[in-house]
Amino acid sequence: MTDTDIAVRVRGLVKRYPDKVAVAGVDLDIHRGEVFALLGPNGAGKTTSVEVLEGYRHADEGEISVLGVDPARADRNWRARIGIVAQSSRDEAELSVAELVNHYAGYYPNPRDPDEVIASVGLDDKRKTRTRKLSGGQRRRLDVALGVIGNPELLFLDEPTTGFDPEARRQFWTLIENLRTEGTTILLTTHYLDEAEHLADRVGVIAAGRMIEVATPETLGGRGARTARVSWLDADGAHEVRTDSPTAEVAALMTRFDGEVPELEVRRPSLEDIYLELIGKTNAAADLATAEAGVA
Amino acid sequence: MSTLTALKSLPSPLKVGVSRTKLEVKQFFREREQLIFTFFFPIIFLGIFSAVFSGTDFSGGVNAATYFTPGMIASGIFLTSFQSLAITIAMERDEDLLKRLRGTPMSPQSYFIGKIGLVLCTSIAQFALLLAIAGLLLGVDIPSEPSKWLNFLWIFVLGTASGSVLGIAFSVVPKSGKAASAVVTPVVLLLQFMSGVYFVYSDLPSWMRGVASVFPLKWLAQGMRSVFLPDGFQVHEPGGSWQLGTGAVVLAVWLIAGLVIAQRVFRWTRRDAG
């Protein structure tokens, strides 16, 4: 794969803090034009990894290339090619939406049109509103406007919809889909599995400082994780079987019960179920390792 | 796309710095707290002191308004530089504005040009207003000798410069944006009391004058007295003269020390950000 196809390439990223190893060897490839979602529980090393890619922190070990440049040695020209939308912000409260977007446009060699950007994030009627008076969702949309004003090739979005109501989240998703259509590569971190499923071409799951799986939302966890579960109730209590042929299972149950099967349910695990199972396994392994280390 | 971007060069740090200055000034005058406690504070106090001490005779035929004008000018410079920068930069760091800026192609130089521009705009506007009120409303004699104004110029420049770099350095002391005012304001207030901004400097106990003479505000105030009080008044100074040479040295030392410290301690992210 050539450099022009790949936006982010990471091999063996390690980042240590005085009290712990935050990232213990992460590999990652993000292709140009794709939306990649990074999932993982708090403290798993997600934010640290992303901040290394953004150039805020320097890795202790590993090869890191973002748009062909090591972020630790990045200059202003490189920064002009990326956009960062960090978690919640409340700065510059006394400036208006239009003042801020126009001002930030002046930082870049090739900015987008400020008016178009304001319109694209749906803040047209808030142009003259001071940011202090924006709602949480409006403020996040302003943050996205400031993140994309420089016309970035790669956009970092850190938990962009935390605290949104369902309607605001849907609107925000449309905004991200439009950016993707325009060809922007997006690295998204999120706690919402439905968000990852909806937006991402591929997802990566980080737990305990390691990338435990990278896959499309449809194939995460492997085929086994998608196995259907058939559950029902009889005199002995609740039953559940995992099966690749749920239809046959249901047919057999129908014969056995001679009609209605009590509390019959056929379920395929959601992305969230699969994710929680992945995380659970990793945590159990980590706990075991800690326990063994404690004994030794 | 990327080749197109490469062809167009980044905006110059100076151009962005000027744009940041405009933004900084706009924000300053929209924030009520800044406006009252940094901009109007010395003006309000000059009015109060002139009224309270209107019957008091200061040596050398100087009235209260005349005596306190240079102190308030010095104090104003210290507020618009040191206090203003120490508080706002601490808040900007805590609110992750500095981190956001660091993630853009804005040059760090542009940020500091913006801050210096802000200090210059606000301190000049404040000085002009103070002078106008002192001269027009309080009957203070404004000096006309060019030599005095030449002295004023270098004292003003050294004062704003040292106050600014010290403010930038001190901005790392408050642990959070909320604590910034509470940490910075008492330091400034204490220095003002000890440096003879609110009292006649020669009336202060000698130990207090000793402490004050280590810090820049005392020399800033004394320098401003040399500009705005009659020359005969210098016999009332503790040293018997304006001591402009010593003042220049002390302010310059603070300026250099502040520059070195600011460069070492300044950070774009919060302390707890690791």
Q: Which residues of B touch A89 (CB under 8 A)?
A: 95-97, 100
Please check whether residue B199 lies inside any domain of the structure: yes
* Residue B208: pLDDT band with limits 50, 70, 90: very high
Predicted structure pTM score? 0.87
Q: Name residue, tokens 């969702």.
A: A137
> B140 is in which domain, residue-wise?
11-273
CA A98, CA A123: separation in Å to the nearest integer? Answer: 9
Number of domains chain B is built from: 1
Please check whether residue B5 lies inside any domain of the structure: no
Q: How far is A89 from chain B (nearest CA, A)?
A: 7
Q: What is the pLDDT of residue B3?
A: 46
The mean of the pLDDT values for chain A is: 88
Taking alpha carbons only, the member of A8, A264, A5 closest to residue A154 is: A8
CA B167, CA A123: separation in Å to the nearest integer? Answer: 36
Eight-state DSSP code of residue B142 = P
Judged against a pLDDT cut of 50, whether residue A147 lies above it is answered with yes
Tens of pLDDT, residues B150-173: 999 999 999 999 999 999 999 999
CA B17, CA B108: separation in Å to the nearest integer? Answer: 9
Please check whether residue B130 lies inside any domain of the structure: yes
Q: What is the pLDDT of residue B39?
A: 94
Nearest to A84 among B1, B97, B103 (CB): B103
Q: Which residues of A touch B (CB under 8 A)?
A: 17, 54-57, 76-77, 79-82, 84, 86, 89-92, 94-95, 99, 103-104, 106-110, 130, 146, 150-151, 153, 183
Spell out a b/e string for B112-146, using b for 16 or more CB atoms within 10 Å of the CB, else e: bbbbbbbbbbbbeebbeebeebbeeebebeebeee
Which range has the worst mean pLDDT, A32-36, A272-276, B215-219? Answer: A272-276
Interior angle at CA A246, CA A243 and CA A250, nearest 5:
125
Question: Between chains, do A80 and B10 touch, taking CB under 8 Å as contact?
Answer: yes
Judged against a pLDDT cut of 80, whether residue A84 lies above it is answered with yes
Q: How far is B21 from chain A (nearest CA, A)?
A: 11
Interior angle at CA B187, CA B183 and CA B188, nearest 5:
115
Please check whether residue B1 lies inside any domain of the structure: no
Nearest to B11 among A81, A89, A106 (CB): A106
CATH superfamily of A6-215: P-loop containing nucleotide triphosphate hydrolases (3.40.50.300)
ipTM of the complex: 0.88
- Tokens coding A181: 């259509």
Please check whether residue B3 lies inside any domain of the structure: no
Q: What is the pLDDT of residue B2?
A: 46
**Domain residue ranges of chain A, discontinuous segments joined by +:** 6-215, 225-295
Residue of A nearest to B91 (CA): A91
Judged against a pLDDT cut of 90, whether residue A92 lies above it is answered with no
Please check whether residue B2 lies inside any domain of the structure: no
Q: What is the pLDDT of residue A93?
A: 86
Tens of pLDDT, residues B35-63: 898 999 999 999 998 888 887 777 777 88
Nearest to A153 among B2, B9, B103 (CB): B2
Please tell me whether residue A182 adopts helix, strand or coil conformation.
coil
Question: Between chains, do B104 and A86 touch, taking CB under 8 Å as contact?
Answer: no
CA A102, CA B23: separation in Å to the nearest integer? Answer: 11
Judged against a pLDDT cut of 80, whether residue A291 lies above it is answered with no
Higher-confidence residue of B74 and B271: namely: B74
CA A242, CA A227: separation in Å to the nearest integer? Answer: 6
8 Å CB contact between A199 and A215: no
